[in-house]
């Protein structure tokens, strides 16, 4: 899953998605390698448990014309296949390394 670097907050993601949605388009399909993916809508994702009025977050979806699979690009602030934001994960790892349970 491609990650769009430089987007550190959910607010930045929403603004960037509105003004520069083309930046999320992957160069090629992660499954078969073919270029020329097209936009296939959005899916929504709950990106943090606290919400702050920004959930659910739209994530653009793209489809490959060859293998017909879909893929998505995430902003840097949303970890793939994780429920908690990076900062929360980092805090918990630091506490575990310091001996806290």
Cα angle for residues 59, 2, 81 (degrees, 5° grid):
65
* Sign of the dihedral through C-alpha 43, 51, 5, 19: positive
Q: What is the pLDDT of residue 20?
A: 94
Q: What is the pLDDT of residues 45-92, one digit of tens each?
A: 876 655 555 678 899 999 999 999 999 999 988 878 776 767 788 898
Is residue 18 over pLDDT 60?
Answer: yes
Judge whether 73 and 26 are in contact, CB under 8 Å: yes
Q: What is the pLDDT of residue 78?
A: 82
The per-residue pLDDT of the chain, averaged, comes to 87
């Amino acid at each position: 899953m491609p990650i769009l670097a430089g987007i550190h907050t959910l607010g930045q993601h929403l603004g960037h998605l509105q003004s520069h949605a083309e930046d999320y388009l992957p160069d090629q399909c992660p499954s078969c390698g073919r270029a020329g993916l097209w936009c296939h809508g959005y899916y929504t994702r709950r990106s943090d448990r606290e919400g702050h009025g920004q959930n659910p977050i739209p994530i653009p979806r793209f489809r490959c014309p060859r293998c017909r699979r879909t893929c998505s690009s995430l902003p840097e602030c949303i970890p793939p296949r994780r429920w908690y934001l990076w900062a929360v994960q980092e805090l918990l790892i630091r506490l575990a390394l310091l001996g806290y349970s």
